[in-house]
Copies of this chain bind each other. A is one copy, B any other.
Amino acid sequence: MASPRRTAPGTRLRLSRDRVIEAAVRLADAGGLDALTMRRLGEELNVEAMSIYNHVANKEDLINGMADAVFGEIELPSHSDDWKTAIRKRSISFREVLARHPWATTVRDSGANPGAATLRHHDRVIGTFRNGGFSVAAAAHAFSAVDSYIYGFAMQEKSLPFTTPEEVAAMAEIMLAQLPRSEYPYLAELTADYVLKPGYFYGDEFLVGLDLILDGLEAMRNAS
């Protein structure tokens, strides 16, 4: 009755590139890119590390696959919205996805051969600008400006030493106490009169900058 290979509760399914990538994303989400080692990934998959090489060429290939998987999670711009609404929604989704996978902010789906999800996403974003009345050049400008902003914002957010409002307050209090006020008066002022005010949350800055860029793009589009 029992097959020679037992199928215990959490036992292995057949390995595949997708299953490898999925597990790798899970590991990186939990412990950062440093926590992702081939040996630990093997454990996660109930397999020896060396088996992984049957499904990815090497670690770089694995990370490229992970980056493409992350791109696949971003909401595509909707065809039924006007360009501004569509780009705004997908930009908010993009930031959420990067917040869920902070390690992905520092990883680029290899410029040389991007994955299918990455290509589709970029194509749809550029298409949204083009159908919204942007010239090819203006669409290139828009694409560059918006995505640079999102990546940079996600990176800043990730590197903050706090997340919850309570942590912010505690941390800012300490930093302010240590900060030589005479040497860094503006930093001290910003911390005391802005960061330490109740309700402060760095994430709220995202929409301010995004809308500023989108309004600028609208003006650029109308001018051309």
Q: Size of chain A's interface in residues, with CB distance under 8 A?
A: 56
How far, in angstroms, from A144 to B209 measured CA to CA in the complex?
8
| CB closest chain-B residue, reference A152 | B152
| Beta-carbon contact of B159 and A153 below 8 Å | no
How far, in angstroms, from A25 to B106 measured CA to CA in the complex?
19
| Beta-carbon contact of A159 and B108 below 8 Å | yes
How far, in angstroms, from A95 to B214 measured CA to CA in the complex?
22
A161 interfacial contact with B, CB 8 Å: yes
Q: Which residues of B contact A179 (CB under 8 A)?
A: 119
Q: Which of B139, B144, B160, B186 contacts A153 (CB under 8 A)?
A: B144
A32 interfacial contact with B, CB 8 Å: no
Query: Which residues of chain A have a CB within 8 Å of any CB of chain B?
Result: 106, 108, 110-112, 119-120, 122-124, 126-127, 130, 136-137, 139-141, 144-145, 147-153, 155-156, 158-162, 171, 179, 183-187, 189-190, 193-195, 202, 205, 208-209, 212-213, 215-217, 220
Q: Which residues of B contact A122 (CB under 8 A)?
A: 184, 187
Chain multiplicity (copies): 2
| Beta-carbon contact of B190 and A140 below 8 Å | yes
How far, in angstroms, from A122 to B184 measured CA to CA in the complex?
9
Residue with the greatest number of chain B CB neighbours at <10 A, chosen from A148, A184, A187? A148
Q: Which of B126, B149, B208, B212 contacts A187 (CB under 8 A)?
A: B126
CB distance from A79 to the nearest CB of B (A): 13
Given A112-B161, A216-B212: A189 in contact with B155 (beta carbons within 8 A): no
